Structure 1
Amino acid sequence: MVVVARFSFPYEAHIAKANLASAGIESFIADEHTVNAQWLYSDALGGVRLMVAEEDANQASEILGEDFSQCFENADDAVEGHIDVCPHCGSSDIAAYTKGKRSAFLVFILLGFPLFFYQQGYMCNQCGAFSKTL
């Protein structure tokens, strides 16, 4: 077994291990429990180690080195094949917005206890319309 990656936290190693498992590469996480029990030992041990068989080391390093950030950027824009648009003007320039947040904050400051009368939703940056759902 050879070390293909080192991580500060065990959860990072488990994510990488799952990535390798999806490609059919068996791997082993070393020093996971030691770091969980005493996290200050992580640097002294060299972190949580992800190990694979020597013959799978090159392929595992390539898989772990891939950049999947483009997949996440596209996933934010499209949900089930459509882009979220404003129901009033059809613009896709929308943002998450909390309606009534300022007045709720002022009531909290003046009265000393919160009154939760705000609404979560979306605000269109083109027409200024508020919508609870898209």
Structure 2
Amino acid sequence: MHWVVAETYSFPYEAQIARTQLEAMAIPARIENEHTINMDWLYSNALGGVRLLVPQEYLSLAQSILAQDFSQDVDQILGSEQISCPQCGSTEVEPYTQGKKPAYLVFLLIGFPLFFYKNGMKCKKCQYFWN
């Protein structure tokens, strides 16, 4: 079996995701240079990136699958719920960690981490934070 490069990636996790996509479609795939780049990611460009290899006879099918965007399918399966701000009702919200900067400053000053930060959501419009 003659293996050829179907796609190249900068990071190993991208190649792992692509390999999983191909294997779900019953296309054999393997990854080359993954461990070298995991050990020192600066070698990525020198080695030509992390290479995703498939057998020659699957090349065109693999490239067409990798070119597709499945994000809408995932949203339909998972039922993407819109999160809205309880303060103003805006849907422009993002995950946010409150108190991260003061915790970092305390760590710099006394050399001991104090974990008094909270993870939650923050509205981009009114800056309201909630868990």
Normalised-by-shorter TM-score class: 0.5 to 0.7
Provide the rounded CA distance (Å) in 2 between the counterparts of 1:123 and 1:117: 17
SS at 1:128's partner residue? coil
SS in structure 1 of the partner of residue 63 of structure 2: helix
Deviation per CA, 1:63-114: give whole Å up to 9, x if none: 23x142x718x85xxx633111112221112222222233333433443323
> Which deviations, in whole Å up to 9, do the C-alpha atoms of 1:29-58 show, x marking residues without a partner?
38x5xx578778x949xx75623253x443
Alpha-carbon spacing, 1:129–1:49, altered in 2? closer, same or farther (3 Å): closer
Aligned-residue offset at 1:118: 1.7
1:24 is the counterpart of 2:23: no
> Aligned pair in 2 of structure 1 residues 108, 59: CA closer, same or farther (>3 Å)?
closer
Give distance in 2, aligned partners of 1:81 and 1:53.
Answer: 38
Per the normalisation by structure 2, the TM-score is 0.58
3-state DSSP of counterpart to 2:113: coil
Q: How many residues are treated as equivalent by the alignment?
A: 119
Asked which structure has the greater CA Rg, the reply is 1
Match for 1:50 among 49, 53, 56? 53
Contact 1:93 1:124 in 2 (8 A): yes
**Paired residues of 2:22 and 2:29 also in contact (CA < 8 A):** no
Identity of aligned residues (%): 37
Structure-2 separation of matches of 1:114 and 1:24:
48
User: What residue in structure 2 maps to residue 131 of structure 1?
Assistant: 130
Output the CA distance in 2 between the equivalents of 1:112 and 1:67.
Answer: 49
Q: How does 1:91-102 map to 2 (within 5 A)?
A: 91-102=90-101
Instruction: State the 1:14 CA deviation.
Output: 5.0
**Cα distance, 1:36–1:89 mapped onto 2, change above 3 Å:** closer
Aligned residue for 2:62? 60
**Contact 1:98–1:118 (Cα < 8 Å) also in 2:** yes
Tell me the C-alpha RMSD between the 2 structures: 3.9
- Separation in 1, partners of 2:113, 2:63: 52
TM-score (norm 1): 0.57
Gaps of 5+ in 1: none
